[in-house]
Every structure is written in structure tokens, then in C-alpha cells.
Amino acid sequence: MGIWTVEKLETKLIGYRRHLHAHPELSGEEHETTKTIRKWLRDDGIRLADYPLKTGVVAEIGGLRGGPVIAIRADIDALPVQEETELPFASQSPGIMHACGHDVHTAILLGAAQLLKERESELEGTVRLLFQPNEEKAKGAGQVIQSGALEGVSAVFGLHNKPDLPVGTIGIKAGPLMAAADGFAIHVEGRGSHAAVPEASIDAIVASAHIITALQSVVSRNVSSLDSAVVSVTKLNSGTAWNVIADKADLEGTLRTFREDVRAKVRQRFEQVVTGVGAALGALSSVRWISGPPAVVNDPLWAERSIRTARSLGLTVVEPAPSPAGEDFAFYLEKTPGIFFFLGTAGPEEWHHPKFDADEAALPIGASFFAALAVDAIAALKEEREGGAIRARSARSVGETVAGGGWGDA
């Protein structure tokens, strides 16, 4: 499938994207977005699948002759950001903006759906389209999995726009691509007093200051220079008046890691520092973790296959630097192999910026790559199964037992 076949789609995809951009909805509240996507899919004759989701849409193409099931996913939610782009199709909802480009992702998946629909009779498997809600709160992937929409899926694919990559470039990387994103809340309990009588107090602000400073040593002294981690304290609430020593403090922030062993070690050292340093200053301090998605870890075989597909479309493939941002696509990859890749969108600003935008020329490229990836993935899975069946037959002929491979419809 060449890019040229989708050029006629470009106008339509730009229309989809601009409509979505003008009408953004926050995570978990994507009711109108859901209705709109369902309508567009129905208008194009695409089969909606019935999974119990409050928001978000699942649809299917193919499967007329059985075969493997693969899934492609786009996230559909927006952010609580006041848009500052001055685009003619800027957000009509004050304080809400598609500042991460999920409008772009949704339009791309709709485009892929149309391309695959044109070839439905040739498809030797099923493509399940996941229009996932609630990504920014890292809850939507779990909701989709819980709905059963990942059951029977042999490979899963997702993308994120990448403002710093040029249009026509795909970023594919085997292994960790995006970070595990944990949140933390620290509570420091001291004792208040008159500001002029500090000896009667356990100063929660002084204890917090020491804790924050000591936390800076966790990454620099406990993580190998060959690995990486980020600890950021982003919020500190304490005190009530200029002449009162604060009795308590609440701190918040985030931890980002790319490997589970590093994640576990940093969390352990972090807790020791918080409780130990707090105790040294007489305060009682504790940590509460808000566990986010694990790292996005791409399957090496699917990465290799995807690179081949991208090159077959004449796209430039680069190996991107991992991003310390989190992405709940990680939950799918924990259950099903696949890849999450970056699509070059040559934007003026990074994700979550009030002037975020994307070059719309990337829309048909993303759609054609998604569609080609789906077709190639089904072919690869079919080949794998047939290869497995041949191996099983020849093994049986020499009296061996071989565990069945494939996707279970054999």
C-alpha cells in the first residue's frame, strides 16, 4: 500500500482532525468525541464492536475468513490547557486543548480504518481499532483491557506524534521507549510553635528542605551512569503564617524510570531517605506512591518488522531517544507484544505546550503506515502459524511433541 493511495484522504483527515481539535474533551469525559467517532465510522461502513466502555470506541475490519487478530490504537482525550495557538480551528472549550495531539492520532486511526476497509476482502485476519479514552490519566488502557477488547489480540500497535521529528520520519526503537511514570506524595509531621520559639517546635519546613535536598542524591548516588532515572519534587505545601513554625508539610512529585529493577531500587532508596532524614530532624515522614504505567517496552521482533514496513513505504526510519514521559500503552505491551512508535509531525512546540501543533501532512502518512503495518502484521502472524504447523507436522513424524504456536484458532 503506497502513500499515493491515501493522498485523496488528506482533506478528509484534516477535516476530522480540525473538528476534534476545536471540540476537545478531558480524560474520561470524551462523550461527544465518542459519538463523533462512532458516527464517522458508521458513515464509512465500518463495523462497531460492542465492548463495555463509558467512553472510547472499538471497531473491527476484516476477519471474514478467520485468521489472527491484531489491534491498532489511538488515544482520544485532551488536556486542561488554555490554547494559545490562534489557529482558525482552535479549541472552543476554554481551558481544554488537544495539547498532546491526540486529535492527530484519532484522525490517523480513522484514516487507517478507511484504507483497510477498502481492502477488507483481502484481509486474512481481523484489525481491531481501539479509540482509547483517558490516556492522560493513565487509566484508559486498563479500561480497554478490562472491557475484553484486547482478548484474542496477537499483536498491538500504537503511535505518538513527535514534534521534533520531520514529516515523513518514523521513530522506531526496540526495548524501552517511554518511562514508567510514578507519582509520589510525602507527608511530613512535625510540631508547630511561635516562630520566635523554635526550640519548642519540630519545623516541618526545615525537615522538608533537607528531605528535598537529600532526594537529589538518590539518582546521582544510587543509579548507574549507564541507566537513567528522574526524581522531581514539584509541589510543597506548608505553613499558615509568617510568625508560626509549620507543624506539617505535604510534598508531591514524580519518579521516571525505564527499567523495573531501577524503578524498584529508586523507590526503596527514596523511602529510606524520606523517613531517615525526616527522623534525623525529629519529624515523622511517610511516602505514598501513585503508581503510574510501567515503561513502554517494544518487542524487538515487531520493531524489526515495523522498520521493514516503514521502509517499504519510502519513509525515513530513525532510532529515537527514549522519552521520559509516561504512556499507558505500556499496559497493552505488558500483555501482548507489539510496538509503540513515533511519527514525525514537525511541530513548533513540545507535547502539552499551549502553542502545540502538528504539520497535517503527517496525517495520511500515519494512516498509510498504520494500515500497512496491520496488513504486514497479519501476514507475518499467518506465516508464523503456518511455519509452526509445518514444524509440528515434521516433529510428529519423528515422534516429538511440540507445543502449538499461533493464535489459537488452529
For 361, the grid coordinates are 501532512
**Given the complex with Ni ion, which of 100 and 231 has the nearer CB atom?**
100
Instruction: Tell the smallest beta-carbon distance from residue 161 to Ni ion (Å).
Output: 8
Query: How many angstroms separate the CA atoms of 219 and 33, rounded?
Result: 41
**Given the complex with Ni ion, which of 340 and 407 has the nearer CB atom?**
340
Taking CB under 5 A as the binding criterion, the range among 19-27, 92-100, 191-199, 237-245 that sits at the site for Ni ion is: 92-100
Taking CB under 5 A as the binding criterion, the range among 38-46, 100-108, 149-157, 185-193 that sits at the site for Ni ion is: 100-108
Instruction: Tell the smallest beta-carbon distance from residue 355 to Ni ion (Å).
Output: 16
Query: How many angstroms separate the CA atoms of 82 and 78, rounded?
Result: 11
Taking CB under 5 A as the binding criterion, the range among 48-56, 95-103, 288-296, 371-379 that sits at the site for Ni ion is: 95-103
**Given the complex with Ni ion, which of 100 and 202 has the nearer CB atom?**
100
Instruction: Tell the smallest beta-carbon distance from residue 108 to Ni ion (Å).
Output: 13
Residue pair 109/373 in contact (Cβ under 8 Å)? The answer is no
Residues 252-281 that bind Ni ion (CB under 5 A): none
Residue 99 makes contact with Ni ion by CB under 5 A: no
Contacts with Ni ion by CB under 5 A: the residue count is 1
Among residues 173, 144, 129, 164, which one has the least CA distance to residue 299? 173
Instruction: Tell the smallest beta-carbon distance from residue 100 to Ni ion (Å).
Output: 3
**Given the complex with Ni ion, which of 34 and 345 has the nearer CB atom?**
345
Instruction: Tell the smallest beta-carbon distance from residue 6 to Ni ion (Å).
Output: 23
Instruction: Tell the smallest beta-carbon distance from residue 170 to Ni ion (Å).
Output: 17
**Given the complex with Ni ion, which of 165 and 206 has the nearer CB atom?**
165
Taking CB under 5 A as the binding criterion, the range among 97-105, 170-178, 259-267, 301-309 that sits at the site for Ni ion is: 97-105
From the centroid of its chain, how far is CA 407? Answer: 25
**Given the complex with Ni ion, which of 100 and 138 has the nearer CB atom?**
100
Taking CB under 5 A as the binding criterion, the range among 39-47, 94-102, 281-289, 364-372 that sits at the site for Ni ion is: 94-102
Taking CB under 5 A as the binding criterion, the range among 37-45, 93-101, 241-249, 389-397 that sits at the site for Ni ion is: 93-101
Query: How many angstroms separate the CA atoms of 199 and 251, rounded?
Result: 24
Instruction: Tell the smallest beta-carbon distance from residue 178 to Ni ion (Å).
Output: 10
**Given the complex with Ni ion, which of 139 and 248 has the nearer CB atom?**
139
Residue with the closest Cβ to Ni ion? 100
**Given the complex with Ni ion, which of 108 and 123 has the nearer CB atom?**
108
Which residues, including other chains, have CB under 8 Å from residue 324's CB and lie 6 or more apart? 178, 179, 228, 230, 256
Residue 296 makes contact with Ni ion by CB under 5 A: no
Instruction: Tell the smallest beta-carbon distance from residue 103 to Ni ion (Å).
Output: 11
Instruction: Tell the smallest beta-carbon distance from residue 160 to Ni ion (Å).
Output: 6
**Residue selected from 37, 100, 156, 167 as contacting Ni ion according to rule CB under 5 A:** 100
Instruction: Tell the smallest beta-carbon distance from residue 158 to Ni ion (Å).
Output: 10
List of residues contacting Ni ion (CB under 5 A): 100
